[in-house]
Amino acid sequence: MAVMQRESASNYVTRAPRSNGLADVLEILLDRGLVIDAYVRVSLVGIELLTVDLRVVVASVDTYLRFAEAVNRLDLRASDDSKSVPDLLEKGGEDMGEKAGKGAVEGGMDAIKEKIGLGKRGGDDDEDEDDDRGRQRQRSRSGSDDDK
Amino acid sequence: MTALYLYGITRPRRLPKRLAEKGVFLVRRGELAAIVSEVDASPVEASRRNLLAHADVVEELHAGATVLPARFGIVVPDRAALRELLLVDDLDRLLEEHRDTAELTLKASYDESVLSEVGAGLGRLRDAYARAPTLENGMALGEAVADALARRRERDAELIVRTLRPLAIDVRAGDPVGEHGLVNLAFLVDRRKVDAFSERLDKLGAQLSPPARFKLVGPLPPYSFVDLETPVAA
């Protein structure tokens, strides 16, 4: 009984006995750990590149718009199941409008991104990041943004 | 010219062969020993490879001894400077304090479906956005979703800490990573309680709605719990 419970519950938990990826060690090695200032010289290069990539700032225009899009998308998906024929017919016109509108939003987003300096980023040498972020990146790439 | 890269502090002991072969060695002073290897005196690059190498050394040694892991990137000119570093009073106290401890890091994030859950109460803003997906409507909806998500996160994080804290000696919270991030915690636990902690976590996973995904790493050396009480001033 206890074993069963553990098996089903552990779907939610990934375990690793030791750090096995950059995401695991970045914070604990760069922000924490023993420092004895007076006697040592901390000499580093390359930190900015690593930290900028992994610390996601939630309160950004980009995020808000992505949240809105996601809620809308998930909402449409949920209501799809219960659609009757008249609904579908009515919906037809709206869908067209929505597509046009979406283009406009994305255009707006890119303009804002450019203004506040959120550009696309180049190579990411980390393989064990959430594929979540990969998907988001792809999504924004599929938009019409051009490099400055 | 070479210098010494510092991985951490431990008690004098024989190093595992694998580490010794990689050029890792100890510099002793009494009952303290610095774990080091030779590096070029130029700055250490915070690359993936170097960071993981540092973690590998301290985590391997932690498996069979007490290790105070150093922050990444500390380079000491020579052995004389290292021995001086080992004079710091607190090191001995910290080694005693951490004789039987381990750190468990726990990160959790929601599935994307959390957005539809927190968005459920935002009918008016959602309808407005669905009708006219303008920048303005998108911002209004997105901001409301972010607020609702923050409240959900706060509630669930509190539950997680309340459930696991009794099994730990100490806890330290960092910023959750990612847009659906829930918690980013470091627990200091007695090494003998690692299994109990892990079992308690299993039960917690099923209690959250929507289910969160947890990543538990450890037992690690006490990375987050080795602050010197009195910072040493020159």
In DSSP notation, A59-70 reads: SSHHHHHHHHHH
Whole-Å CA distances, A129 to A54, A134, A144: 9, 8, 25
Q: Say if A16 is an interface residue toward chain B (CB within 8 Å).
A: yes
Which residues from A are below 8 Å from B69, CB to CB? Answer: 28-29, 33-34
Burial class (CB in 10 A: 0-12, 13-18, 19+), A18: middle
- Give the span between the Cα atoms of A52 and B202, in whole angstroms: 32
Q: Report whether CATH 3.30.360.10 matches the domain B102-224.
A: no
Which residues from B are below 8 Å from A26, CB to CB? Answer: 51
| Cβ within 8 Å, pair B105-A28 | yes
Tell me how many residue pairs between chain A and chain B have CB atoms under 8 A apart.
261
ipTM of predicted assembly, 2 dp? 0.85
Q: What is the DSSP letter of B32?
A: E
Q: Say if A7 is an interface residue toward chain B (CB within 8 Å).
A: no
Q: Say if A124 is an interface residue toward chain B (CB within 8 Å).
A: no
| Cβ within 8 Å, pair A15-B84 | no
| Cβ within 8 Å, pair A105-B213 | no
Of B71, B70, B2, B3, nearest in space to B33 by CA:
B70
- Could you read off the pLDDT of B47-98 as tens digits, one per residue? 888 999 999 999 999 998 999 999 998 888 899 989 988 988 889 999 999 9
Tell me if B164 sits within 8 A of B201, measured CB to CB: yes
Which residues from A are below 8 Å from B143, CB to CB? Answer: 64
Pairing of strands A44-45, B44-45: parallel
- Give the span between the Cα atoms of A130 and A124, in whole angstroms: 12
- Can you give the pTM of this predicted structure? 0.74
Mutation for testing the B interface, residue in A13, A102, A140 having most B CBs under 10 Å: A13
**How confident is the prediction along chain A (148 residues), in pLDDT tens digits per residue?**
333 333 344 578 999 999 988 888 888 888 888 987 655 555 666 655 555 445 544 457 888 888 898 888 876 665 554 443 344 444 443 343 333 333 333 333 343 333 333 333 333 444 444 444 434 434 343 434 444 3
